[in-house]
Amino acid sequence: MTDVTALRTRWQDALVAVRGAAPGPDPLPYADNLLGRWAEPQRRYHTIAHLTQVLDRVDALAGHAADPDVVRLAVWFHDAVYRPDRTENEERSAALAERALPEAGLPDAATAEVARLVRLTVTHDPAPGDTNGEALCDADLAILAAAPKEYAAYAAQVREEYGFVPDEAFREGRAAVLRQLLGLPRLFRTPLGSAEWEPRARQNLTTELELLTR
């Protein structure tokens, strides 16, 4: 069961760390607004559990990021707007960050970096040396390297989110996504991701593709 109290504390800690000594409003109402978004009924995979998992993975990758607390704020926003039948979720999530974070007392530069990172999750393709982007993208994609049973549950949850798509169309679309991922030279950019997650992720993707196309 997800510990919402602990999540609220994690949000507060990250926001206050980035805000610094600048005055600002109580961080917790912002956490509650975001948690409400992550708990919307149309979600099956992109839930509070996913938020927690990505935050945990950013913690594991924190030593790689230039500003891990900014990355943590980007995690909170990266799927804050999520409708499976729409294509502009990342842009709308970034725009939400651009509205909410200045009001919460964040400096303009930090707000811009959070929004940039959220938009980066469209492609998961950070530029070389973009350590914040590498940490966020690797944390978001780490589910691909889950144990087989957990990966199968993830794949089933994605299918549920796209329940409005007919089976044949979903199989074709999902297979295209899997082929695109497998065609990348690297799925993960951080040393930890490359060493520990890459091999299992490629095996999981290959297995799912075989199941979809046999």
- How sure is the predictor about 103, in pLDDT bands with cuts at 50, 70 and 90? very high
Rounded CA gap, 137 and 120, in Å?
Answer: 8
pLDDT class of 3 with cuts at 50, 70, 90: confident
> Do residues 88 and 166 lie in contact, with contact meaning Cβ atoms separated by under 8 Å?
no
The residue-averaged pLDDT of 103-132 equals: 97
pLDDT digits (tens, 9 = 90+) for 55-82: 999 999 999 999 999 999 999 999 999 9
What does pTM read for this prediction?
0.96
Positive/negative CA dihedral, 178, 179, 184, 185: positive
Name 176's Cβ contacts closer than 8 Å, sequence gap at least 6: none
What are phi and psi for residue 10, nearest 5 degrees?
-65, -40
Give CA–CA dist 68/139, Å, rounded: 12
